[in-house]
Structure 1
């Protein structure tokens, strides 16, 4: 995805004094140059920083007549997870693939790759896209691609929730950064535990509820940068969110459009 720099502040330092550690922030609407709209979790004016090792995260909405023509990327890895509809992917490695609801694609851009993304079957689609920084020692890695269908991803019932592991134990999708990416449907109450030394976030996909005692809904994000348990509860119905955490590289994240140095 050719990420627009619109909405990305020039300063990447987060003012943590402006919000408490349990206060969610609202995502920011961004329109890409191709006419595609996204709800960006970070970096935004509301949260003007990266979350090492994560460069950015957003939910994209692609209308039938929009999309991303062939464009370059380098220096990071991309995880695209579909929520509704299908998305056609084609790249300079010769890969052609269509991902549908709850399917996932991972691209290692490394030394450089070109790809395109368009809605499949003449229908609108939406999904989640995460950029994960590559450590400096692996910036020139050979580009690579892998995908997995929803049937390939392990799903289990946990206390108060149903959890699908998009990246992590049991998933065929792996990255060069140690991390976990969970798709969680909370029907009652569920606890998310952040591992020691990791950082990550929760992002609202569907429904309403509370996170760490604060109201939480579609497009909200709770960044977490310390090891702790976060209590999640649904209101009436199901609160769907993703929980993403990873081990920081402790290296500067320098993004210029589709490249991360």
Structure 2
């Protein structure tokens, strides 16, 4: 059976800006104004920050997936959850109908993270909020020739990732030695993008080369068969090449991302602010 061969549809390098303390630096991996192209993904930010940057704040109407690149990240939520994540760990949050949490650097650490906003369809925006930590050692690793594949979410390379998002996605970390090749298989109807953590790789049927801080949006079959796979070819051009691959099915709904909320209309955004100020999100996360 011939599988769809994916190309790199668009690619760019993240532009960074210095920020005022306790923020250090920020870059938009997925910029806000292109969310329709990234659907079901909305934005992804790469942040460097210290304690005090992301104190108690609310969210509603979407999910977050945070990957820790370096430093330590302390998660605190108003449901009593508190934990510290290390490099290579991932945290999932379903903000649903309303969540309050804090994300902080630990002690004098500079936390370096990637945070992805994942949309919720209209009928799921009122779900209960929830959190899940996936520690690096809990994600199954598949050994491949001259490399490894770590599966955080989805069924990839014969392994199933432990992350269980309300809207199913795949999240995979691929590490390759110089000259190694790998074919990543994901459903053909999944929209997908990649982010290069280190090294340099050649990718897609059009052989685009990207190095550290490079991002690529991949081609896909919009009305394809969820049970039919597609192939995304990778080849490492340098040692210690590492890439994150995200994929999910587009939701195809109009959204209004505004401040810490993502809803389907401006009236719903206004209601979210009213509910928050009336205390309906619960007490502060401390």
Instruction: Bin the TM-score by the shorter chain.
Output: 0.7 to 0.9
Cα distance change, pair 179–250 in 1 and its aligned pair in 2 (3 A): same
Q: Report if the CA contact (8 A) 1:22-1:214 is conserved.
A: no
Question: Counterpart in 1 of 2:227?
Answer: none
Q: Report if the CA contact (8 A) 1:23-1:214 is conserved.
A: no
Question: Counterpart in 1 of 2:31?
Answer: 43
TM-score when normalising by structure 2: 0.77
- Look at both structures and tell me which one has the larger radius of gyration over its CA atoms: 2
Cα distance change, pair 171–230 in 1 and its aligned pair in 2 (3 A): closer
- Structure 1, gaps ≥5 residues long: 1-19
User: Partners in 2 of 1:32 and 1:199 — Cα distance?
Assistant: 32
SS in 2 for 1:24: strand
**Deviation digits for residues 178-221 of structure 1 (CA, Å, limit 9, x no counterpart):** 21000111221122334221101011111122223122011111
Cα distance change, pair 193–32 in 1 and its aligned pair in 2 (3 A): farther
Larger RCO, structure (CA 8 Å, separation 6 or more): 2
Question: Counterpart in 2 of 1:207?
Answer: 199
Alignment of 1:107-146 (within 5 A): 107-146=93-132
Question: Counterpart in 1 of 2:87?
Answer: 101
- Structure 2, gaps ≥5 residues long: 1-6, 222-229, 264-286
1:174 is aligned to 2:183: no
SS in 1 for 2:187: coil
Question: Counterpart in 2 of 1:14?
Answer: none
Question: Counterpart in 2 of 1:24?
Answer: 11
**Deviation digits for residues 138-189 of structure 1 (CA, Å, limit 9, x no counterpart):** 1011111111211211111134531111112322211111210001112211
Q: Report if the CA contact (8 A) 2:51-2:106 is conserved.
A: no
Alignment of 1:156-171 (within 5 A): 156-169=142-155, 170-171=160-161
TM-score when normalising by structure 1: 0.84
